[in-house]
Amino acid sequence: MRAADRHERQRGEHGLGPFRRQCLVEGALSSVAIDRADIERGLYDGATVETWLVNWSASQEYVLLRRSTVGKITYAQGKFTAELKSSAATLDKIHGRRVMRNCDAEVGDQRCGVNASDPRYAAMGTAIEVGDATFMASGLGSFQSGWFANGRLNWVGGTNAGKTAVVVSHVLIGGTVRIGLRDIPDASMAVGDTFRVIAGCDKSFAQCKAKFGNGLNYRGFPHLPGNDAAYAYAGANDEFDGGALVP
């Protein structure tokens, strides 16, 4: 527990009732226990922050004002900005399962059932040319373009080791590939960084069957009627034989 260094509360919402309360704080980093690199890596995202009111003339007199959770910390121009969320923020999370056409499982998880260690669906690669969110890599030349689009990339070596990224594009160029990430990594990529990438899925029933042969484990509802069916009316040439409409 430390006395607060100078910081400015930019915006806060507090009050009675079961609504979400949120606060932003801004300040300068002065604690040797907090490193800028750790902030940029997201190490403190989700951390618990307790705010106490203490009488420093009689330190045995104190009271807990609030307990918050760090949503996200950003660092720019020598200052950090931290989003603090109250416990009521958990009420905004989705609980239970949503009924929708697309699958809500992730490739390789228990509900999906696909073996993510299968060499058909996962591979190791090495960055040979880097940009901000796009880089060239070796080791993936045997996979067709788009195979890893919508997939997950786990950094194994380099300053981003242990972090996960989402792949948005995968293009085969000769014997190398160009990979585009959804977000710029917290730390700059470097030539020689290694990673493991898992094949992507667009969550459709068609791709689940064709790419992974996993239709029996599909975790969506492909037969769910859409708005077109809900607002349509019967036509003289329509077939109504009770058969399934499989997209």
pLDDT by residue for the chain (247 residues), tens digit each? 555 554 545 555 555 555 445 565 555 555 566 777 777 777 788 888 888 899 989 989 999 988 888 887 776 776 777 788 877 777 777 777 888 889 999 999 999 999 999 999 999 999 999 999 999 999 999 999 999 999 999 999 999 999 999 999 999 998 899 999 999 888 899 999 999 999 999 999 999 999 999 999 999 998 887 777 777 777 777 777 777 655 5
Q: Set out the domains of the chain in order of their start, with CATH numbers.
A: 7-91 (no CATH), 122-198 (2.40.30.60)
> Measured between alpha carbons, how far is 128 from 138 in angstroms, rounded to an integer?
7
Closest CA to 99 of 201, 228, 222: 222
CA 90 centroid distance within chain: 17
Which candidate, 91, 90, 83, places its Cα nearest to that of 23?
A: 83
| Cα–Cα distance for residue pair 25/7, rounded to 1 Å | 7
